[in-house]
Structure 1
Amino acid sequence: MNYPFCIRCGWVLALTFASCYPGLAQTPTPARDTSFTVYSALAKARKTDPSITLARPAVPTIIRSRMNVPYCTASGRALQLDVFYPKARRQGGYPAVLLIHGGGWRSGDRSQHVPMAQQLAARGFVAVTAEYRLSTEAPYPAAVQDLKAAVRWMRANARTYRINPKQIATWGFSAGGQLAALVGTTNEETRFDSLACNIGYSSQVQAIVDVDGILAFIHPESGEGDDRKSTSAATYWFGSPKTERPDLWRQASALTYVGPHTPPTLFLNSSVDRMHAGRDDMMRQLSQFNIYHEVHTFPDAPHPFPLFNPWFSPTLDYTVAFLNKVFSRK
């Protein structure tokens, strides 16, 4: 996830970088970083395998959607999400999934996973795609705080959108996978529940689906923090290299928090080993605590595999089977 840096920091972020890591200070502009998009990822992947296609299944007719819903205010603006849910009502509501996009914590947007959210809704889930503040707007831990607030919003609006508040999962790809795992493993941490939105509701989740997201930043398998050729995406997100603030890099690693109350976890991975740094260590710890987990790897798949055919459908199938198994026990 070493995306090239674009000069797109807000004034606050620029001042933060200037104070803690002078080499990162840049002239701010209001433009978004568009270095990672579904289409740029597709073009890159097709250089290796021209048969890869963008996953755009037909929109199911049995679902409803609500777009551009504000869920919290941060950095002086409203953060938004989209909700996809079954038309049919069910007593007790449906299990829910918060889908978190990737893009190196500084690029990408929630529209990446609208197709997955629509298909999950057709399979009996309420699927929410939420935006979060990227590193061009606010450094770590803003994104984590935002997503915790999104979970609280889901519980606060459970009746409206037919959500079972006892069955909420995080699902994320790439940087979103790292965030999905961190949100889930920090259920008992209060430091990230700092946004004053729906504070009367819990941000705890009951399952994690990590799709090619790093689990430990300071780890032999991790490529993040290697700034010799260009500044890594994580260094921009933290505002400091890992040699200067290793405490932050460990604090943002899901592996740091694994314990007896960690939710059941599904790992879905490409063939790119560095994208799941810390996964095997986390699985060993989950086994020690007798916590259910699964891992499925797609050989020869590129990193953005869940966005493309032929991997979209099996990613969906693995997700649905795992969540149905986990939530059937609750």
Structure 2
Amino acid sequence: MSGRRYLDEDDVRIRARGGSRPRTRNRPKHEDAKQGFVTAVDRGRYTCLVDDRAVVAMKARELGRGSIVVGDRVALVGDLSGRPDTLARVVRVEERRSVLRRTADDTDPVERVIVANADQLVIVAALADPEPQPRFIDRCLVAAYDAGLEPLLCLTKSDLAAPDELLATYATLGPPYVVTRRDGDLSELRGHLLGRLSVLVGSSGVGKSTLVNLLVPEAERAVGHVNPVTGRGRHTSTSAVALPIEGGWIIDTPGLRSFGLAHIRPDDVVAGFADLAEAVAECPPDCPHAEGTPGCALDAWLAEGRLDPARVASMRRLLSSREAVD
């Protein structure tokens, strides 16, 4: 037919899906990337210290969904000037030498990384206003030992209550500790922090942000108060941040109401109670260490007065709270 042209496959235009570039699993090496230290994370933006400059960066797409947290050592490319409204890219997260994790509770399978590459976990606990929480301290100690961090008990508000009773609870375990007061000298605590990367963890209202402001005045961390009815503090720190302190770093974290240990195996929970290790060694294989379990040496040692009942009860409570996970 005149004036009409027959169509063939060359006339059919199909838009390539996902781009025409062939996919590859080979990621760029970014050999020219600069090293940085993550000091803060805020809604997908990472503040990194690069050659004494604060650089804001986003995560490169090729990194996938892996998390980047305060304390991470990373490699960056792009605009590293640190000028306002500039943005670099994190293209690599270096291997972590330690990771502090927690879960929302003891039955939550989702791990949350708090910080990376810390050397020391400073467990901040008030002696009064709010009352001490030995169970929370025990959880933090187990998490510290599991992560390979050295624990340090920091007992605040000694002007309101004496530390003797709480210290006696941990006398057989023997963790290092410092005792502070609201108008006191912090030189002993400062000595434990120098030259190290320390993460501060504590319940709301224990005075953690107050300590940070005294140690690093320019930090200006918000300080809250304790509700006189509930005894609970108000969350004042809303995100983790790393702050320099005389050759070291302290990482202030938001106040926690719980420290879940669902990610820690029962045997590692038991290992966190080193003061009970001698008795546990006499238990039969696969002993659940529950009260009344046939052959459990903990019951025998308790009957002989050789163990602190509060410590045994704390460990058993931790183990039983994880039963839904197991």
User: Could you say whether these structures have the same fold, taking a TM-score greater than 0.5 normalized by the shorter chain as the test?
Assistant: no
Q: Whose RCO is larger (CA < 8 A, sep 6+)?
A: 1
Compute the TM-score of the two structures, normalised by the length of structure 1.
0.22
Larger CA Rg, structure 1 vs 2: 2
Compute the TM-score of the two structures, normalised by the length of structure 2.
0.22
